[in-house]
A and B are shown apart, each in its own frame.
Chain A
């Protein structure tokens, strides 16, 4: 589904991604973790073309990102993304947040888009808030709406960029529950997160990044029980102690 082949990226002279390669198969849930500045957020933003990269290629469901004739907006419509700071559109009601891209990108009718939106809001438990504005919701509610907004596009893969890092602790679980459900339903997911409990529950593989490189890329069992690299071992010991 996602093939990341030898991707390198730099901001000017400062390298942020160094020769990263990995694959995500259909239905797989891959967790990407690592210390701050390791490049994990940048990598995931490269997957849907939000960030350009200088070397290598990324192939999404057979379509190469760097090919000249690739229609990036159309490609992005098939990839769902959830951001750390939710990024709901504050001037639109919740229902309109969900319908905007459906109508403008997928050319669905308003009625069709609304029906799908309400079903998704029901799935994340927020139908009562359809007419509210994002500013009137809590952080956890906003993030669940953001997940519904991404799902409304019927994506083939969902990308999550530290979805719970900006939430107060008591709201983290309501969002993680939605993500666990999604994984159990078979969605292909790539999740950047510090939440190791989530990884243990539903991840198939774990990728550990440090200083722009993919240091470990193992199955969940292998990663947690026998991490091979010293940096990963250090990271795990610190995280699991907290």
Chain B
């Protein structure tokens, strides 16, 4: 096999002049995590609203929410990112479009917002399922006490619904992290893209991608452990089997 292994490549300076190849990968990891965090917060906010709307009796609200979910689920993420990055600035009035195109870190903001909307549709489905899994009597008991619909959702339904959907939400968060890699196509300097750059500069293909793989697996493990800790902390005594 004519491949020259060189595991020492990580400590050699990258041609970009900003440090070693390892620094390059770690900076990519930072961008991955920052994008994922921003997108996830956005996804939780929007997804919760849409998910709640889908459980309300309003007909038009339900239709709008369904259209929202169907739109973001049936278009590939890559295409959605292209729409945000290339198409949106052209459709806006000239001033706004120009501002968008000249925004510093435009790929980061585009990727975060685009990924946030994409994942919000999936969060919406989870929130809807979580609320639907609760006994009908809970909402009735809340209303019987004189709580308004908003109060019933905030104090009675959502606290339990979120606990129920913690496991699938964890999966979606992990998906968010993985999906940041798609944004390398619009210039986000995230981990996978940096590994690819490292491969292009140094020709050490397998070292570069192995490092990226290990980093993703580490992040994965940390998130899973963190979520398990969170699950145990918010578990309601006597409700779930176990704690």
Contact across chains for A79 and B239 when beta carbons are under 8 A apart: no
Contact of B138 with A by CB under 8 A: yes
Contact across chains for B141 and A136 when beta carbons are under 8 A apart: no
Give CA–CA (A50, B137) in the complex, Å.
11
Stretch at the interface among B87-95, B152-160, B187-195, B210-218: B152-160
Total interface residues on A, CB under 8 Å, equals: 33
Q: Known contacts being A91-B160, A100-B155, is A135 close to B146, with CB within 8 Å?
A: no
- Chain A residues, Cβ within 8 Å of B144: 48, 50, 76, 79-81, 83, 150
User: Which residue of the partner chain, among B135, B148, B156, B160, contacts A73 with CB atoms under 8 Å?
Assistant: B148
Q: Known contacts being A83-B137, A104-B151, is A90 close to B239, with CB within 8 Å?
A: yes
CB proximity to B under 8 Å, residues A109-155? 132-137, 149-150, 153
Q: Known contacts being A89-B156, A91-B159, A91-B163, is A135 close to B238, with CB within 8 Å?
A: yes
Contact of A87 with B by CB under 8 A: yes
Give CA–CA (A73, B237) in the complex, Å.
30
Contact across chains for A105 and B145 when beta carbons are under 8 A apart: yes
Q: Known contacts being A87-B141, A91-B163, is A133 close to B147, with CB within 8 Å?
A: no
- Chain A residues, Cβ within 8 Å of B140: 45, 50, 83, 87
- Chain A residues, Cβ within 8 Å of B147: 73, 100-101, 104-105
Give the number of A-B contacts (CB < 8 Å).
Answer: 81
Interface size range of chain B in the complex:
20 to 34
Contact of A68 with B by CB under 8 A: no
Q: Known contacts being A89-B156, A100-B155, A133-B239, is A153 close to B146, with CB within 8 Å?
A: yes
Contact across chains for B236 and A101 when beta carbons are under 8 A apart: no
Contact across chains for A133 and B138 when beta carbons are under 8 A apart: no
Contact across chains for A85 and B236 when beta carbons are under 8 A apart: no
Contact of A179 with B by CB under 8 A: no
- Chain A residues, Cβ within 8 Å of B236: 90-91, 133, 135
CB proximity to A under 8 Å, residues B81-125? none
0/1 interface trace, chain A 64-92, chain B, CB 8 Å (1 if under) = 00000000011111111101110111110
A102: nearest residue on chain B (CB-CB)?
B145
Give CA–CA (A47, B88) in the complex, Å.
53
B157: nearest residue on chain A (CB-CB)?
A89
- Chain A residues, Cβ within 8 Å of B145: 76-77, 100-101, 105, 149-150, 153
A77: nearest residue on chain B (CB-CB)?
B146
B140: nearest residue on chain A (CB-CB)?
A50
User: Which residue of the partner chain, among A50, A78, A133, A153, contacts B238 with CB atoms under 8 Å?
Assistant: A133
Contact across chains for A76 and B146 when beta carbons are under 8 A apart: yes
- Chain A residues, Cβ within 8 Å of B228: none
0/1 interface trace, chain A 154-196, chain B, CB 8 Å (1 if under) = 0000000000000000000000000000000000000000000
Contact across chains for B141 and A89 when beta carbons are under 8 A apart: yes
- Chain B residues, Cβ within 8 Å of A81: 141, 144
A79: nearest residue on chain B (CB-CB)?
B144
8 closest A-B pairs by beta carbon, nearest first, are A135-B238, A77-B146, A87-B141, A101-B145, A81-B144, A105-B146, A136-B238, A87-B137
Complex A-B: 20 CB contacts under 8 Å: A73-B143, A77-B145, A78-B146, A83-B141, A83-B144, A84-B137, A85-B135, A90-B160, A90-B239, A91-B159, A91-B160, A91-B236, A100-B145, A100-B147, A101-B147, A104-B147, A104-B151, A105-B146, A150-B144, A150-B145
Known: A90-B238, A136-B238. 13 other contacts (CB 8 A): A50-B140, A50-B144, A73-B148, A81-B141, A81-B144, A87-B137, A87-B138, A89-B138, A89-B142, A100-B145, A100-B155, A105-B146, A134-B238
